Amino acid sequence: MHQILHIKEIYKEAFRNWRNIFLKKYFKAFSWFCLALWLVTVYAFVFRISTGFAFD
């Protein structure tokens, strides 16, 4: 739980005091997109492991 709160604080600190609103929204959207891609990758890997896929 402490790690999640630490990550949340890092995220909030990264976007604090930004001047250009377009860049702020762009980088926030990009960070959420990267997180979504990472979650899809983890899901696919866990799915392959759970179905017995041979990584040869």
Share of the chain above pLDDT 90, in %: 43
Residue spans per domain, the chain: 2-50
What mean pLDDT is predicted for residues 5-32? Answer: 85
Using the CB atoms, write b or e for 17-56: b if 16+ within 10 Å.
eeeeeeeeeeeeeeeeeeeeeeeeeeeeeeeeeeeeeeee
Does the pLDDT at position 56 exceed 80? no
Q: Which residue has the higher pLDDT, 10 or 18?
A: 10
Residue 52 has what DSSP assignment?
A: T
